[in-house]
């Protein structure tokens, strides 16, 4: 079978999936963390893999950039491929003084400037929240691994380059991470009764104008990848 955007067989996917934005990172995770993995999607080079982490069957698939891209993959995975548990693992911006480059942040909720949820929720404000069970298990896994995390409200934006005045508002309202997908992923997961959580590594501090160099990116993502994989063992 295949859907508009995925050319895999139904049985190719695990019910549990890690979703980075970048296909190259999906390939990196499969090659470095999964045993007996195989590539299961090639459409649009939105690479997907299924393999085993400590004997647990896990899929990895990239979701691209932005809500429109992430939401369609999440929807097709849930409705056509029986995916039930989704952990987005990505990068995000930060604006809070006490959050630093390479810190791991977890989105308990996600505010947004996107109209995606309003379009589907009769123009009302949809409170996009993570799944409690996955969030709690990620919290426990982080404690076990002694990895520091910040848990709070994300801001999911349609515009990567955010206006300075808006950044001050995000700081004022205690936003822990700025990304481009989480608010959409959470609402689609809720709509189709799946569970979702976003775990991100801070790649840029937008107010301090700092960013992780490309050579440091890989090592700083490894903690997030292991935290996410360990979380999959608990959910
Ligand atoms: N803004 C939005 N999305 C992002 C950012 C950012 O600064 N960094 C990584 N993803």
**Are the C-beta atoms of residues 131 and 197 closer than 8 Å to each other?**
yes
Q: Which of 101, 180, 199, 221 to mutate to test the pocket of ligand 1 (most atoms within 8 A of CB)?
A: 180
Residue 2 confidence (pLDDT) above 90: no
CA atoms within 13 A on the CB side of 178: 28
* Cβ < 6 A, ligand 1 pocket: 91-93, 157, 160, 178-180, 203-204, 206
The pLDDT score that the predictor gives to residue 63 is: 98
What are the pLDDT digits (tens) for 153-212? 999 999 999 999 999 999 999 999 999 999 999 999 999 999 999 999 999 999 999 999
Distance from Cα 202 to the centre of ligand 1, integer Å: 8
- For atom 9 of ligand 1, the residue with the nearest CA is 92
The pLDDT > 90 percentage for the chain reads 92
Q: In angstroms, rounded to a whole number, what is the distance separating the alpha carbons of residues 196 and 86?
A: 5
Question: What mean pLDDT do residues 60-78 have?
Answer: 98
Q: Which residue has the higher pLDDT, 2 or 167?
A: 167
Provide the percentage of residues in the chain whose pLDDT is more than 70: 100
pLDDT band at 216 (very low <50, low <70, confident <90, very high): confident
pLDDT for position 1 = 72
Catalytic residue annotation = 204
């Amino acid at each position: 079978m295949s859907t508009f955007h995925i050319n895999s067989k139904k049985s190719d996917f695990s019910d549990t999936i890690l979703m980075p934005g970048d296909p190259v990172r999906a390939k990196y995770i499969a090659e470095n963390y999964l045993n007996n993995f195989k590539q299961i999607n090639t459409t649009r080079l939105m690479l997907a893999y299924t393999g085993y982490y400590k004997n647990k069957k896990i899929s990895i698939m990239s979701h691209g950039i932005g809500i429109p891209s992430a939401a369609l993959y999440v929807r097709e995975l849930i409705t056509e491929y029986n995916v039930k548990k989704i952990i987005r693992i990505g990068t995000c911006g930060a604006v809070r003084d006490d959050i630093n480059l390479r810190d791991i942040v977890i989105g308990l909720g996600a505010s947004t400037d996107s109209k995606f949820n309003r379009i589907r929720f009769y123009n009302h404000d949809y409170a996009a929240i993570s799944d409690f069970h996955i969030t709690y298990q990620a919290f426990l896994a982080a404690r076990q691994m002694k990895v520091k995390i910040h848990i709070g409200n994300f801001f999911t934006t349609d515009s990567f380059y955010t206006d300075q005045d808006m950044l001050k508002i995000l700081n004022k309202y205690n936003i822990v991470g700025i990304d481009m997908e989480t608010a959409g992923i959470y609402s689609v997961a809720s709509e189709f009764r799946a569970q979702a959580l976003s775990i991100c590594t801070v790649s840029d501090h937008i107010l301090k104008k700092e960013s992780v160099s490309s050579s440091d990116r890989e090592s700083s993502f490894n903690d997030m990848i292991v935290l996410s994989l360990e979380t999959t063992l608990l959910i």
